[in-house]
Amino acid sequence: MDVGTFVIGLSLSALRSATPLLYVLLGETLSERAGVVNLGVEGQMLAGALTGFAVTVLTGQPWIGCLAGAMAGLLLSSLHALLSLGLRANMFASGVAVWMLGGGLTAYFGTGFVGQKIDGFSGLKLKGLERFPVLNEAMAQITPTVLLVLFVWPLVGFWLYRARAGLTWRTVGESAETAAGLGLNPIRIRLQAILAGGALSGLGGAALSVDYTRNWIEWMTAGRGLIAVGLVIAARWNPFLALPAALLFGGTEALTLRLQALGVNASPYLLATLPYLVCLAVLIWGTRRAHGRGGMPRDLAAVFSRTE
């Protein structure tokens, strides 16, 4: 057993598993930084996964599929915006409604697409790399949605910390009241943040179906949307920390499978809980280090605790 091969394999595997999750995680970070929790991301991810797959089946173009997936996520998130911003419904109840609706609708409309075949993206082929077979094979496993998310990741960070518009989003997240006093329109800004998050979660779903698995099956996200909501907290609402958080989860998940493939004698049941345990540990560690709020936007904190 070659250690180098194992490390390369595990890293690629972690990156692949983390990719769909990272899109969703970045999207949820955006909307939470503007002060809105969206539990509907699971449903939005499913909407993106089905729409992305279906459009790829119909057009044969995975990029158009991914774009359509992002649009589907955006569209479904607008329902969360309507309920939570427009009708002032409880944002958790509204998010759960969107989550269930997304799951139900995609299960219903998706039946016709189960068992369809798509070709998806092909892996990277770099000239001159043929001389290094291990590296060449590794690169061939990196697909366009992986590269795209590595590009989107710093972009979201710069948007929140370096762009003027991002600053207004954060202001609204800290205190809508203050923001309104400054002449900003908190509702409009939160709407933008929800929709941006919706598009990213839809894209994450499409990355899962069109690229990663080339398959559609109902509820195929298997809780990854909700995991992303949890990872936002572990990453302390910091988009730059989103990549390590997603890699940690994806990597642990990949590790549990790789250990088995290596023939390590460990309980499959315990291994399956490992990704969650690791995230929980990071969550506790992160919260303790940040003394309480852990980077949570102030207006969000108010949703949880009225005394703050």
Partner 1 sequence: MSATPTVRRWAAAFTLTAGLLAGAKAYAGPVDKVGFIYVGPRTDYGYNYAMDQGRQEMEKALGVKTVFFENIPENSEVERVMERLSSQGFKLIFPTSYGYLDPALKVAAKHKDVIFMHAGGFKLAPNLGTFFADIDEVEFLSGMAAGAATKTGKLGFIAAHPIPQTLRNINAFTLGAQSVNPKATMTVVWTGTWSDPAKEAEAANSLIDQKVDVLTMHVDGPITIAQTAEKRGVMVCGYHADASKFAPKGWLTGSAWNWGPLMTAITKSVQAGTWKSEHLRGKLKDGYVKLASFGPMVPDSTKTAIAAKQKAYASGTALWTGPIKSQDGTVVLKEGEVMPLEKVESMGFLVQGVTGTLK
Counting contacts by CB under 8 A, is residue 129 touching partner 1?
A: no
Closest separation between CB of residue 123 and partner 1, Å? 8
Question: Is-contact 76 198, C-beta < 8 A?
Answer: yes
Query: Based on CB atoms, which residue is closest to partner 1, 47 or 220?
Result: 220
Counting contacts by CB under 8 A, is residue 133 touching partner 1?
A: no
Closest separation between CB of residue 215 and partner 1, Å? 5
Query: Based on CB atoms, which residue is closest to partner 1, 159 or 212?
Result: 212
Query: Distance between CA atoms of 21 and 232, rounded to whole angstroms?
Result: 11
Which of the residues 53 through 112 are near partner 1 (CB under 8 A)? 107, 110-112
Closest separation between CB of residue 115 and partner 1, Å? 4
Closest separation between CB of residue 11 and partner 1, Å? 11
Query: Distance between CA atoms of 73 and 80, rounded to whole angstroms?
Result: 11
Counting contacts by CB under 8 A, is residue 262 touching partner 1?
A: yes
Phi, then psi, of 236 in degrees rounded to 5 = 50, 45
Which of the residues 192 through 221 are near partner 1 (CB under 8 A)? 208, 212-215, 217-220
Counting contacts by CB under 8 A, is residue 4 touching partner 1?
A: no
Three-state SS sequence of 238-307: CHHHHHHHHHHHHHHHHHHHHHHHHCCCCCHHHHHHHHHHHHHHHHHHHHHHCCCCCCCCHHHHHHHCCC
How many residues interact with partner 1 (rule CB under 8 A)?
42
Choices 16-24, 60-68, 169-177, 189-197 (CB under 8 A): range interacting with partner 1: 16-24
CB atoms within 10 A of CB 210: 36
> H helices of 34-181, where?
41-59, 62-81, 91-110, 133-140, 144-161, 164-174, 176-181
Counting contacts by CB under 8 A, is residue 266 touching partner 1?
A: yes
Counting contacts by CB under 8 A, is residue 5 touching partner 1?
A: yes
Choices 29-37, 178-186, 254-262, 294-302 (CB under 8 A): range interacting with partner 1: 254-262
Query: Based on CB atoms, which residue is closest to partner 1, 6 or 92?
Result: 6
Query: Based on CB atoms, which residue is closest to partner 1, 27 or 286?
Result: 27
Which of the residues 137 through 156 are near partner 1 (CB under 8 A)? 141
Question: Is-contact 118 210, C-beta < 8 A?
Answer: yes
Which of the residues 20 through 39 are near partner 1 (CB under 8 A)? 20
Task: Give me the amino acid identity at 121.
Answer: F
Q: What is the DSSP letter of 123?
A: -
Helix axes 62-81, 186-206, angle to 10 degrees: 140
C-alpha dist (Å) from residue 124 to 136, 142, 167: 9, 6, 36
Give me the residues that bind partner 1 (CB under 8 A), please. Answer: 5-6, 9, 12-13, 16-17, 20, 107, 110-112, 114-115, 117, 141, 208, 212-215, 217-220, 222, 224, 253-254, 257-258, 260-263, 265-269, 271-272
